[in-house]
Amino acid sequence: MSIDPTMGGASPALSGEEIVAQVIGLKEIADFEIINFARLPGPHVTPSIMLELAHAVRLVLQRENIDGVVITHGTDTLDETAYFLDLILQTVKPVVFVGAMRNSSELSWDGPANLIAAVRVATTVEARGLGVLVAMSEEIIAAREVIKTHTESVDTFQSRDYGPIGLIDKDRIIIARRTTDQEYIETDNIELAVETIKMVSGGDGKFIDYAIAQGVRGLVLEAFGRGNVPPGYLGAIDRAAKTGIPILLTSRCSRGRTLDAYAYEGAGKTLTRLGVILGGVLPSHKARIKLILALGAGWSTDRIRQSFES
């Protein structure tokens, strides 16, 4: 992005060629070609666009002369798109997402350094077989773990529970660990009728009832703590569960996983008895992405439960 003086703020402006022209030394690191897929701010990226991007990347990866792919992306939804591609692409070739927290009109623009680092990751043999990655602020983070944690800080992208899988130290790529829970969902379809509802103190289930009345195919509940909700939601959750749709339980906490550890009214034990599925360590927005793909693949509620709770 750059500052548009007529609009009074930053907006998408640079093509791939214009970005690369400002990155000194990139040609010495790798041979590359530029594909201008879209020029969108993060909030304009939808699951349908994510699916189109996945198809485009898959075609590129099939070429023998391609060793890896780097994707520049708006930071607001970078973690969602990266996770979407991680679930739907089956390849050992590195796919690396990168963004910038400062726009190109600022002296502190972090785009060039981040892009060089991402290209280094995409061209290293050590990054093969690690799934989709995010390379930002000299850290390498798995797409299934990465979260945007700060509205403005350049080191906003973090793995909340496990830390980065590697580091970018000048021209050296250091892989410290390899993830073991990579999952592949084979589908060319997505189910967009999935809603996320945030639980609040003293709240009730009117939005859950409304979603069911509108024909929602899946629900993600952002609950408290380990996965607990106020009693006012229970009736609506019970009614939703009886429709047979998958209902995922996530937490509004920044770290940790959901677990049916408590048994009071509205606690996790009560919800799992109703048929609610524990969302594990996934935050609500990434649980939604996975559910959109799982339903698009035609998975049953039991298979979805096994996937999220295993």
Q: Which two tokens stand for residue 181?
A: 């829970």
Q: Give the model's confidence band at 3: pLDDT under 50 very low, under 70 low, under 90 confident, else very high.
A: confident
> pLDDT tens across 186-197, in order?
999 999 999 999
Q: Do domains 2-175 and 194-309 have the same CATH topology?
A: yes
C-alpha 281/C-alpha 256 separation (Å) is 6
Q: What is the DSSP track for 176-232?
A: ----S-------S-----EEEEE--TT--SHHHHHHHHTT-SEEEEEEBTTTB--GG
* Residue-level pLDDT at 182: 85
Res. 296: pLDDT tops 90? yes
Q: Give the model's confidence band at 1: pLDDT under 50 very low, under 70 low, under 90 confident, else very high.
A: confident
Res. 185: pLDDT tops 90? yes
Q: How many CB atoms lie within 10 A of CB 190?
A: 21
**Length of the chain measured in residues:** 310
CA 34 from centre of chain: 23
C-alpha 130/C-alpha 101 separation (Å) is 25
Q: Residue 268's closest CA among 224, 301, 236? A: 224
Q: Residue 50's closest CA among 11, 69, 75, 78? A: 78
Q: Residue 309's closest CA among 186, 217, 181, 159? A: 181
Tell me the fold of 194-309: Rossmann fold (3.40.50)
Domain edges within the chain: 2-175, 194-309
Q: Note the pTM of the prediction, 2 decimals.
A: 0.96
C-alpha 8/C-alpha 281 separation (Å) is 39
Asked whether the beta carbons of 130 and 173 are under 8 A apart, the reply is no
Give the 3-state secondary structure of 83-120: HHHHHHCCCCCCEEEECCCCCCCCCCCCHHHHHHHHHH
**Alpha carbon distances (Å) from 300 to 47, 208, 218, 273, 304:** 21, 21, 11, 18, 6
Res. 180: pLDDT tops 80? no
Q: Which residue is associated with the tokens 């920044």? A: 254
Asked whether the beta carbons of 244 and 250 are under 8 A apart, the reply is no
Q: Which two tokens stand for residue 78?
A: 């970078």
> pLDDT tens across 47-64, in order?
999 999 999 999 999 999
Tell me the fold of 2-175: Rossmann fold (3.40.50)
> pLDDT tens across 117-135, in order?
999 999 999 999 999 999 9
Which H/E stretch holds residue 55?
Answer: helix 47-61
Work out the angle at residue 303's Cα, subtended by the Cα atoms of residues 299 and 308, and round it to the nearest 5 degrees: 110
* Average pLDDT value over all residues in the chain: 96
Asked whether the beta carbons of 220 and 279 are under 8 A apart, the reply is yes
